[in-house]
């Protein structure tokens, strides 16, 4: 081609309907915070004291015989800090990835607390100041949903319901688009809610003030997030089905071009060449032609006009094909792609 003169222990199984993560604490050392999680506090007071402890837990499935043990002692996650600071919300955030659409199921037990006895799940977490939460209160005997936006809580939504202390309960949360749905102990507890504040984010365990709470048997079934670059490629190919190929390259941590999105997803992760690197670093445009196709490599620019990616378009050739008309064909496609993204961080997340 020549330059144009124009310028962890976590179980993960992929399934047909998505992916599944099981948070299994069985193999982890006791009295330690599980790896892959980050302890923070929303509001006031100290961060939580999150550790693995042993506790008696009934089996998820009913025993096959009356001789089977009713409960077994095994490792569970516990929040043990008794700090009674009001408006203190310890969070243990799973830092592995963010989730969009998912169904999360967990069991929780309220063990102690003088000021509060609460346990819940925070989800679509942006940071300590922005997230959703569904939590159960043993002292208030209620289940509530609310959101936190820039540190301010919304009005709570949810029913009055008995939450017995010292008993394992099951909480199930489903998010699909802007719909949020919740079940407690197998029964619908909060009918579908609609909220557009957060479209994706991390998940985490939640308590309040001096609540001593345990969690076990946590499972997440989710739709794997598609990087924006691949979503843009997929949408562009659908709109322009005659494109033979469409690839997006960015620079990796070593400063070399790497394919991050492609019409052929099996190619993702492969290295780019000198042409892609020059487009990424200098913003140059390239053109190439063989008997049946032409290729154009153009920069995808960020909101400041700087190259953030190199786009390689491969199109059918025709009699009279020139560099100029190939560029005329490619330019509006790349400009349309550019309207979908402002920064490199957005493109690759």
Cross-strand partners of 80:
none
Tell me the residue range of the domain where 171 lies.
8-222
CB count in 10 Å sphere of residue 250? 21
Structural domain ending residue among the three candidates 176, 191, 222: 222
Say yes or no: 213 and 233 in one domain.
no
Structural domain ending residue among the three candidates 187, 222, 257: 222
Whole-prediction pTM value? 0.67
Does residue 195 lie in a domain region?
yes
Say yes or no: 160 and 189 in one domain.
yes
CATH code of the domain in which 276 resides: 3.30.450.40
Q: Are 300 and 334 a contacting pair, CB within 8 Å?
A: yes
Does residue 2 lie in a domain region?
no
CA-nearest of 180, 168, 114, 102 to 136 is 168
Does residue 59 lie in a domain region?
yes
CA-nearest of 277, 129, 297, 117 to 197 is 129
CATH code of the domain in which 101 resides: 2.60.120.560
| Phi, then psi, of 80 in degrees rounded to 5 | -110, -10
Say yes or no: 106 and 129 in one domain.
yes
Residue indicated by tokens 């959703």: 132
Q: Give pLDDT, residue 17.
A: 45
CA-nearest of 153, 113, 154, 155 to 137 is 113
Say yes or no: 203 and 309 in one domain.
no
Say yes or no: 165 and 242 in one domain.
no
Q: Give pLDDT, residue 10.
A: 40
Q: Which residues of the chain have pLDDT under 50?
A: 2-17
| Phi, then psi, of 189 in degrees rounded to 5 | -110, -40
69: left (phi over 0), alpha (psi -120 to 50) or beta: beta
Say yes or no: 39 and 16 in one domain.
yes
Residue indicated by tokens 């800090």: 81
Domain count, the chain: 2
Does residue 1 lie in a domain region?
no
Cross-strand partners of 194:
179
> Please, what is the end-to-end C-alpha distance for the chain in angstroms?
31
Q: Give pLDDT, residue 224.
A: 80
Q: Give pLDDT, residue 1.
A: 56
Q: Give pLDDT, residue 65.
A: 55
Q: Give pLDDT, residue 304.
A: 93
Say yes or no: 70 and 206 in one domain.
yes
Q: Are 203 and 94 a contacting pair, CB within 8 Å?
A: yes
Structural domain ending residue among the three candidates 170, 190, 222: 222
pLDDT tens sequence across 108-129: 999 999 999 999 999 999 999 9
CA-nearest of 180, 228, 227, 217 to 21 is 217
């Amino acid at each position: 081609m020549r330059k144009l003169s124009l310028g962890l222990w976590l179980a993960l199984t992929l399934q047909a309907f998505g992916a599944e993560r099981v948070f299994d604490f069985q193999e982890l050392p006791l009295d330690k915070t599980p790896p892959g999680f980050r302890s923070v506090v929303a509001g006031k007071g100290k961060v939580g004291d999150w550790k693995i402890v042993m506790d008696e837990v009934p089996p998820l499935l009913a025993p096959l015989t009356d001789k089977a043990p009713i409960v077994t002692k095994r490792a569970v996650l516990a929040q043990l800090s008794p700090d009674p600071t009001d408006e203190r919300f310890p969070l243990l955030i799973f830092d592995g990835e963010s989730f969009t659409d998912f169904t999360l199921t967990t069991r929780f037990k309220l063990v102690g607390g003088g000021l509060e006895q609460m346990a819940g799940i925070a989800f679509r977490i942006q940071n300590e100041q922005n997230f959703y939460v569904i939590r159960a209160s043993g002292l208030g005997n209620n289940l509530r949903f609310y959101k936190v936006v820039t540190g301010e809580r919304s009005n709570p939504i949810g029913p009055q319901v008995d939450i017995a202390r010292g008993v394992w309960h099951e909480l199930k949360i489903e998010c699909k688009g802007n719909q949020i749905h919740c079940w407690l102990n197998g029964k619908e507890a909060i009918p579908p809610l609609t909220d557009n504040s957060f479209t994706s984010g991390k998940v985490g365990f939640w308590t309040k003030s001096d609540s001593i709470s345990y969690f076990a048997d946590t499972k997440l079934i989710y739709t794997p997030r598609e990087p924006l670059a691949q979503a843009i490629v997929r949408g562009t190919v659908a709109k322009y089905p005659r494109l033979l190929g469409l690839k997006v390259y960015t620079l990796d941590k070593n400063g070399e071009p790497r394919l991050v999105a492609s019409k052929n997803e099996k190619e993702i992760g492969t290295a780019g060449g000198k042409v892609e690197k020059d487009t990424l670093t200098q913003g140059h445009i390239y053109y190439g032609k063989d008997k049946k196709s032409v290729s154009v490599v153009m920069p995808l620019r960020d909101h400041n006009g700087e190259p953030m990616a190199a786009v390689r378009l491969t199109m059918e050739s025709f009699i009279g094909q020139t560099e100029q008309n190939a560029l005329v064909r490619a330019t509006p496609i790349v400009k349309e792609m550019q309207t979908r993204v402002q920064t490199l961080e957005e493109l690759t997340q």
